[in-house]
Amino acid sequence: METAAEYAKRRETLNDQVLFQADLPTKRFFALDHDVYSEGALPKKTKELMGLVASTVLRCDDCISYHLTESVEQGASDQEITEALSIALVVGGSITIPHLRHAMAFLDTMERPGAGSREA
């Protein structure tokens, strides 16, 4: 599995390639995506956890990795992430289970305070 650090590097490189070739509507969409997750009436951490739920329900592992990274960066605890993923499971059903596995495996590649490996 790709580590969080490897994912971040790959994402940055590919976003640079996309934006180099992008037309104005694509650049506006990227800007909108960035702006909607900014601090507002809802804290950025809450928005990132919401993004994590939506990404899991939509079954986008790349998006799950991104929102996990951002959620942890915003100070989300393992318990908050687990609860968000539980909401995703209830909303998305059993088809989201492989994506929950991805989320947990990816989370284990991330350095975060007070976290231990889930491996038994």
> What is the H or E stretch that residue 97 is in?
helix 97-107
DSSP string, 64-91: HHHHHHHHHHTT--HHHHHHHHHHHHHH
Look up the pTM and report it: 0.89
Query: What is residue 120's predicted lDDT score, i.e. its pLDDT?
Result: 43
| Mean pLDDT of the region 4-14 | 95
Distance CA 85, CA 79 (A): 10
pLDDT value for 96: 98
**41-78 pLDDT tens trace:** 999 999 999 999 999 999 999 999 999 999 999 999 99
Predicted confidence at residue 47, as pLDDT, reads 98
User: Can you state the angle between helices 61-73 and 97-107, rounded to 10 degrees?
Assistant: 40
Residue percentage of the chain with pLDDT more than 90: 90
